[in-house]
């Protein structure tokens, strides 16, 4: 029986998923990120200290565990890959070369309400760069370039990365005279969910804002530009603060670098805040054109204080692709698929059971040359064996004989062939992943 929020893909969907993961992995490695895998569990105290609510953390315990075990002893499944990565860095900093660039592709678990494209168990693909003591800002500008290259390598709708900087928001709020900037950020982050009127009311109620201050926060959040013109738009609001100026300068660098690399990839969106408490500067969210109503499929940001050992800090910046989220949305709309449901390119027809050894040798010769091949399961009539291939989208059936022949069952063309030399067109060798 299916369990809500725990997706299981069909074989044809798994082909798509593996293709997507290969593209992600190869792009990450082109930029010099090294692979890492961390354990699935972290101490509960660690998970709850990083901005996630206890309602969303899954506990791990033995069935016969003592009821009296303390909270400090409890383990939880990780809800993202950044928190375990920060822990890994602190435990292994003496063995790492800095700046340390890693990518991580793993399952994570989050007890959210399941809905289309949003799951309780899902696959994420992260990149992060951490350094000792200080991390140069140019790494913030690099993150969107990597992600842009990933998405452009896939047959999916255009992705737009929305970017902001928490220094812009916090500096602006300080300049307005609002001291509880964290509460203002959390409230403004709810704009898309509850709308501006309710956000304004909440700012007055929970952050001590006046109506005028609340309206000023909304005017900042409404600024959205695809170039650095947001700087003048913010300054036109008449609020000044050194942290605000610093944030505007950093955000302009990110936008200008992305526009040079891939025009149209990025947009400064000053309502983006990100819910996790550990972000301190640049923050990213990503939408697919035509799928904006489903929210972000890739997000992250800069964190200065997530990892430290004694007086040594390890600041970082990272971004995470919600692979399961992306695939779930596109599968749900029939917008991503594979040309066949199996890797097989050729089925070797079986004239009779006593010829199975001959057929196995033909299949072995084809596989040795990198051609995915299987032998028909039974010596049924050739029409049924062709039907067996056709139902799975397998393009070729091989007929043993003197000489052997191979048939393209799509066109009906049948030619003499030698398993030591015959090669299918490159487009047929592996399933082709296409988008609509």
Question: Has 124 been labeled as part of a binding site?
Answer: yes
- What does the alpha-carbon distance between residue 266 and residue 258 come to, in Å, rounded to a whole number? 6
Beta-bridged to residue 331, according to DSSP, are: none
Sorted by sequence, the CB contacts under 8 Å of residue 283 that are 6+ apart come out as: 163, 164, 165, 166, 272, 273, 274, 299, 300, 301, 302
Asked if residue 82 belongs to a known ligand binding site, the reply is: yes
Determine if residue 232 is labeled as part of a ligand binding site. no
Q: Strand runs (DSSP E) across 159-253, as ranges?
A: 159-165, 224-225
Provide the edge-to-edge strand list for the sheet that holds 414-416: 373-375, 346-348, 396-399, 405-408, 414-416
For the chain, list the domains and their CATH numbers. 11-334 (3.30.930.10), 346-435 (3.40.50.800)
Q: Measured between alpha carbons, how far is 237 from 260 in angstroms, rounded to an integer?
A: 28
Cβ contact 173:217 at 8 Å: yes
> Model-level pTM?
0.91
SS (H, E, C) 253-299: HHHHHHHHHCCCCEEEECCCCCCCCCCCCEEEEEEECCCHHHCCCEE
Question: pLDDT at position 115, please?
Answer: 83
Please, are residues 430 and 346 in contact by the beta-carbon 8 Å criterion? no
Q: List per-residue pLDDT tens for the chain, 436 residues long.
A: 788 999 999 999 999 999 999 999 999 999 999 999 999 999 988 888 765 566 789 999 888 776 666 666 789 999 999 889 999 999 999 999 999 999 999 999 998 888 888 899 999 999 999 999 999 999 999 999 999 999 999 999 999 999 999 999 999 999 999 988 888 988 998 888 899 999 999 999 988 889 999 999 999 999 999 999 999 999 999 999 999 999 999 999 999 999 999 999 999 999 998 766 788 999 999 999 999 999 999 999 999 988 889 999 999 999 999 999 999 999 999 999 999 999 999 999 999 999 999 999 999 999 999 999 999 999 999 999 999 999 999 999 999 999 999 999 999 999 999 999 999 999 999 999 999 7
For residue 405, the model assigns a pLDDT of: 97
* Contacts (Cβ under 8 Å, ≥6 apart) of 430: 343, 345, 372
25 known ligand binder: no
- Three-class SS state of 109: strand
Beta carbons within 10 angstroms of residue 399's beta carbon = 20
The answer to whether the Cα torsion of 343, 349, 352, 358 is positive or negative is negative
> What pLDDT shows up at residue 118?
86
278 annotated as ligand-binding: yes
Q: Is 80 part of any known ligand binding site?
A: yes
Task: Report whether 130 contacts 101 (CB < 8 A).
Answer: no
Helix axes 166-176, 242-261, angle to 10 degrees: 150
On whether 428 is known to bind a ligand per the annotation, the reply is no
| Residues 6 or more apart whose Cβ sits within 8 Å of residue 1 | none
What is the C-alpha to C-alpha distance for residues 46 and 43, in angstroms, rounded to an integer?
A: 5
Distances (CA, A) of 152 to 27, 58, 197: 10, 35, 37
CA distance 164 to 273: 7
Helix, strand, or coil (residue 64) = coil
Chain centre distance of CA 353:
48
Does 274 belong to an annotated binding site? yes
Q: Is 203 labeled as ligand-binding?
A: no
- pLDDT value for 345: 98
Residue 224: both structure tokens together: 């959205």
């Amino acid at each position: 029986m299916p369990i809500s929020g725990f997706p299981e893909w069909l074989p044809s969907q798994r082909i798509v998923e593996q293709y997507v993961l290969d593209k992600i992995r190869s792009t990450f490695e082109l930029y010099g990120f090294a692979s890492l895998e961390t354990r699935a569990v972290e101490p509960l105290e660690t998970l709850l200290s990083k901005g996630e609510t206890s309602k969303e953390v899954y506990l791990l315990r033995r069935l016969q565990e003592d009821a009296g075990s303390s909270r400090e002893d409890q383990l939880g499944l990780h809800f993202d890959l950044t928190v375990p990565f920060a822990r890994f860095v602190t435990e292994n900093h003496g063995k790492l070369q800095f700046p340390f660039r890693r990518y991580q592709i793993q399952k994570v678990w989050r007890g959210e309400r399941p809905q289309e494209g949003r799951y309780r168990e899902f696959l994420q693909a992260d990149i992060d760069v951490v350094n000792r003591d200080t991390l140069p800002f140019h790494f913030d500008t690099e993150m969107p370039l990597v992600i842009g290259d990933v998405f452009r390598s896939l047959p999916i709708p255009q992705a737009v990365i929305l970017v902001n900087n928490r220094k812009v928001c916090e500096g602006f709020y300080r300049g307005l005279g609002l001291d509880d900037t964290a509460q203002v950020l959390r409230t403004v982050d709810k704009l898309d969910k509850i709308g501006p009127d309710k956000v304004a009311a909440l700012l007055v109620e929970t952050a001590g804002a006046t109506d005028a201050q609340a309206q000023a926060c909304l005017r900042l959040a409404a600024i959205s530009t695809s170039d650095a013109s947001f700087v003048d738009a913010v300054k036109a609001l008449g609020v000044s603060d050194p942290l605000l100026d610093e944030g505007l300068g950093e955000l302009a660098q990110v936008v200008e670098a992305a526009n040079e690399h891939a025009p149209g990839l990025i947009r400064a969106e000053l309502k983006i805040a990100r819910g996790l408490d550990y972000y301190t500067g640049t923050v990213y969210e990503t939408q697919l054109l035509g799928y904006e109503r489903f929210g972000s499929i890739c997000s992250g940001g800069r964190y200065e204080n997530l990892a430290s050992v004694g007086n040594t800090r390890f600041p970082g910046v990272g971004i995470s692709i919600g692979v399961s989220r992306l695939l779930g949305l596109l599968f749900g709309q029939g917008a991503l698929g594979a040309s066949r449901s199996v890797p097989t390119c050729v089925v070797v027809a079986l004239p009779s059971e006593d010829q199975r050894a001959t057929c196995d040798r033909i299949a072995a010769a084809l596989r040795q040359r990198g051609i995915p091949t299987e032998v028909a399961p039974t010596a049924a009539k050739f029409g049924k064996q062709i039907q067996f291939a056709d139902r799975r989208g397998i393009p070729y059936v091989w007929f043993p004989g003197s000489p052997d022949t191979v048939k393209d069952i799509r066109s009906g063309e049948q030619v003499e062939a030698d398993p030591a030399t015959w090669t299918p067109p490159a487009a047929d060798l592996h399933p082709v992943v296409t988008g609509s």
